[in-house]
Amino acid sequence: MVSTPWAQWFEERSRGCRERVLPPSVRARVAIEGGIDPAGYRFTEGAGRVVSLEHPGAPAGSRTRVAAHGLTPDHVAAKARESLGAARG
């Protein structure tokens, strides 16, 4: 698991640094984003999947709202299985 609370800072690191954290050989990736930010897409190319709100104005504090937009353990697990399957070819 890698946490990138400041995606821009991570992107400013050297390529070698980024590849030590996210090796290109690890193709199965899932980015979980609680807000509306395309950062997850930049780090999950190919077989990766993204789970995010992607709906402006949805209050993140409401568990019901968050669940309605797919930020649930079951949905994240399903995306992880998708990513693993895609990475395997």
Domain ranges, ordered by start, for the chain = 27-88
Query: For strand 30-33 and strand 49-52, is the pairing parallel, antiparallel, or unpaired?
Result: parallel
pLDDT tens column, 13-37: 999 999 999 999 999 999 888 766 6
Per-residue pLDDT of the chain (89 residues; tens, 9 = 90+): 777 777 888 889 999 999 999 999 999 999 888 766 667 788 888 899 988 876 665 555 566 666 766 778 898 999 999 999 999 98
DSSP 3-state percent helix, strand, coil across the chain (nearest 5): 45, 10, 45
From the number of C-beta atoms within 10 Å of its C-beta (0-12, 13-18, 19+), residue 80 rates as middle
Q: What is the pTM of this model?
A: 0.75
d(CA 4, CA 23): 15
Overall CATH class of domain 27-88: alpha beta
